[in-house]
Chains A and B, each alone.
Chain A
């Protein structure tokens, strides 16, 4: 079945460090790929997405490129801030048998940035 494997956390970095959170997927068909972020006490929010191979999603300084050849969608940021501390979820989406977009999530990676 479809699955997402995500880098286990927790991850702790100093402010202004470079961030990479690895994500690989297994899917039948051609999924869309997402990164969601959950800040403390809040719901999941869409951070960025890519809908086809070689697309690059970007938002708030974060980037991820849809790599079909390596089935990966790694999240990167060049210089993290304390405000980036959150849990990050990688996810894929395929159309279900009922015509809905069905999300499959990774386990989430807790990121803590220290000043």
Chain B
């Protein structure tokens, strides 16, 4: 149990377009999901905490209008990168908690903006 599925695993988009990444908890309900990004040779950096039915909580320095997060149900959170630019190219990872401290992670999404 405790599987988190992230889709797509890879996406290439043109500069100026928007990209949506989905994070689903397949066999449990997640009231809280987390979105991270990772630049090459750097740590996973927490971007935002996604709470079902309420607004996401963004970390300092993360543009909320740039990275739109919607947690519409207990099993789905989406991250939309709006008006993507090459500097947004990165590895994005979601995680979900099943009510305890342990986090369950998706496979990650490699975004390339050309």
Contact = CB atoms under 8 A, between A and B. Distances in A.
B49 A105 contact: no
A77 to B, nearest CB: 21
A114 interface: no
A107 B93 contact: no
Chain A interface size, under 10 / 10 to 19 / 20 to 34 / 35 or more = 20 to 34
A44 B93 contact: yes
- SS class of chain B's interface: helix, strand, loop or mixed? strand
Interface of A: 4, 8, 32, 36, 38, 41-46, 49, 89, 93, 96, 98, 100-108
Contact of B101 (A45, A101, A106, A107): A101
Contacts, number: 54
Q: Which 5 A-B residue pairings sit nearest by Cβ, starting from the closest?
A: A44-B105, A43-B105, A105-B44, A43-B107, A101-B101
Contacts of A36: 105
Contacts of B95: 44, 103
Interface residues on chain B, size class: 20 to 34
A100 B46 contact: no
6 contacts: A43-B4, A46-B103, A102-B49, A103-B46, A107-B41, A108-B43
